[in-house]
Amino acid sequence: MQVERVADTSCETGEGPLWHPDEHCLYWVDIPPGKLHRYNPGTDEHELVYETPDGSPIGGFTIEANGSLLLFGGGGRISRWDPRNEAEAAETVVDSVAGEAGSRFNDIVADPEGRVFAGTMPTDDHLGTLYRLDTDRTVTPVVEEVDIPNGMGFTLDRTTFYFTESEARRIYAFDYERATGGLSNRRTFVEVPEGDGVPDGLTVDSEGYVWSARWDGNRLVRYTPSGTVDREIEFPARKVSSVTFGGEELRDLYVTTANVEGRDAEGDGAGALFRVPDVGVSGKAEFRSEIA
């Protein structure tokens, strides 16, 4: 299967790719320096479009109903940035989350009702937490004591929520209550063997299969709805961090990677953005948040 390097960036931790259907572009972040990148497949050009003023991290983002981007940063800070007014500063939406001053957000997903599920990284004092940000901007912890919260998504019928705990090497499935955003009945959907990389970001395609990025495993893995391996795609980068579908018909996979130790150690494509054109199945439009 053809793997194309479409943006030869050298992101320390390229993450959180999302296709913006209003702009026909792909956005992704480099987490530690707080940089937001954009790739335009129509012109085959990429650019750095936003940096946090203080160099603080951006763990991920959602696309708001009005097309702006909701950025999830350090210390529990959440802000809104509008790509149609690039020169304007980001507007603070939530200043902080109690107990997360020394942490940062890591992976983010909007739900069908415009809420957002957002995980925070472990610190020296505590493990990570999965929070739910409701449309009235209240923040509620929903899964605690998580050793690196990561990739999330929903089944096609919107009754099950997938959630990755990277250091536990598991992708969980929860019963999801759309009316309240409640999660219950946690069970293991996939457990990755030792020495086979670490599950990271994920997306769900139009057939209900789960695509999971494999950090330190140099590949994507597609799982059936029952959790068995369907196929794998390898990349010239050891740390494959996240994946989304993009393009006008959502038939192209876009994949982020990380360059933590340098390309001699991490692979020739470490830190770059990749595209796998027309993988034989389409994605589904990501839900938009309705917070800001």
Q: Looking at the annotation, which residues are catalytic?
A: 200
Nearest to 38 by CA among 26, 22, 20, 51: 26
Instruction: Show the tokens assigned to 132.
Output: 């739910």
Question: Phi and psi dihedrals of 197, rounded to 5?
Answer: 85, 175
Give the span between the Cα atoms of 119 and 163, in whole angstroms. 10
Query: Max Cα separation, the chain?
Result: 49
Instruction: Answer positive or negative: Cα dihedral of 49, 19, 90, 98.
Output: negative
List CB contacts of 195: < 8 A, sequence separation 6 or more.
none
Query: Are the beta carbons of 200 and 192 closer than 8 angstroms?
Result: no
Report the first-to-last Cα separation within the chain, whole angstroms: 40
Task: State the burial class of residue 4 (Cβ atoms within 10 Å of its Cβ: 0-12, 13-18, 19+).
Answer: exposed
Element housing 264 (H / E) = helix 263-266
Nearest to 203 by CA among 276, 149, 153, 166: 153
Give the span between the Cα atoms of 123 and 101, in whole angstroms. 10
Residue type, 277: P
Question: Phi and psi dihedrals of 264, rounded to 5?
Answer: -60, -35
Give the span between the Cα atoms of 17 and 151, in whole angstroms. 11
